[in-house]
Amino acid sequence: MTNPFRKASILKRLFSLLILITFSLSFSPVASAQDFDFSDEGEDTGEFNFDDGPSQPLNLGKTFVMPNNGKPVNLVIFEPVDGTPQKTLDQLTEATVEKLKDEKYAEYDSVEGIPITEKLNAMSADDRANCTFEASCIADLGREIGAANVIVGRIQTEGLERPKITFDLIDVSTSSSKNYIEFETQNRLRKQEQDISGALLRLFNIDTGSIDSLMTKRVVEESAPLPTGQLVGGIIVGVLALGAVGAGAYFGYTAKSLDDEIAKDIDANLNANPGSFDQLVHQPEVKDKQDTASKDAMIANILYASGAVLAVVSVILFLVRQDKDEDIFANDLYISPSIGTDGGGIAAGFTF
> What CATH architecture applies to the domain 73-221?
3-Layer(aba) Sandwich (3.40)
Q: What is the pLDDT of residue 219?
A: 43
Phi, psi dihedral angles at 109 (to 5 degrees)? -110, 135
Compute the distance between CA of residue 259 and CA of residue 290 in angstroms, rounded to an integer: 7
Compute the distance between CA of residue 195 and CA of residue 191 in angstroms, rounded to an integer: 6
Q: What is the pLDDT of residue 50?
A: 39
Residue-wise burial string across 169-186, b where 16 or more C-beta atoms lie within 10 A, e elsewhere: bbbbeebeeeeebeeebe
DSSP, collapsed to helix, strand or coil, labels residue 132 as helix
Whether 117 and 77 have beta carbons less than 8 Å apart is answered as yes
Residue by residue, pLDDT tens for the chain (352 residues) are 445 444 455 556 666 666 666 555 554 444 443 343 434 444 444 443 434 444 444 444 567 888 888 899 999 999 988 888 888 899 999 999 999 999 999 999 999 999 999 999 999 989 998 999 999 999 999 999 999 999 999 999 888 889 999 999 999 999 999 999 999 998 888 888 889 988 999 999 987 554 444 444 444 444 456 678 778 888 898 899 899 899 989 998 888 888 888 777 777 666 656 555 455 555 667 677 778 888 888 998 998 898 898 888 888 887 776 544 444 444 555 555 555 555 555 555 555 4
Q: What is the pLDDT of residue 190?
A: 84
Q: What is the DSSP string of 240-267?
A: HHHHHHHHHHHHHHHHHHHHHHHHHHHH
Domain boundaries, the chain: 73-221, 228-350
pTM for the full predicted model:
0.45
